[in-house]
Amino acid sequence: MSTAMFMRAAVHLAEEGMRSGRGGPFGCVVVRKGEIVGRGSNRVTSTNDPTAHAEVVAIRDACTALNTFQLTDCELYTSCEPCPMCLSAIYWARIPQIFYGNTRADAAAIGFDDDFIYRQVPLPPEQRTIKMELFLRDEAQNAFKEWAAKADKIRY
């Protein structure tokens, strides 16, 4: 398959998912060595899961199919520029290349204002719209100290 075919597959998943009532107009495929290894469409409303964005669903599908949590030799094709959550998931999965069809401005024009979150992320916690408060740090540090000393940890 060609690069255009992979993007068309992502767009098709967006249309199919939206038309079937599973969620918003977003689709995604993960490709490894010229083969689709993960597919996803937005399923937020049908699963009552605000994290079920197309990219996250496709990453989960690819990781399951490949039995790994790192997709360093994959590419991601998505019908829209990833939101901050999806972009973070892409970074965590170590995917080195993203192709996207629509921009976040295009998404905002139809009511998906990802740009609001993009503007919130760089703000200091005390300036964000969602109230954030550091709490019980000393107790929370115990798990971090144990992790730091853990000899058999799997790094990610």
On whether the CB atoms of residues 78 and 98 are closer than 8 A, the answer is: yes
User: Amino acid identity of 95?
Assistant: I
Q: Which of 15, 16, 35, 55 is catalytic?
A: 55
On whether the CB atoms of residues 27 and 41 are closer than 8 A, the answer is: yes
Is residue 55 annotated as part of the catalytic site, yes or no? yes
Look at phi and psi of residue 89 and say left if phi exceeds 0, alpha if psi is from -120 to 50, else beta.
alpha
- Which amino acids are annotated catalytic? 55
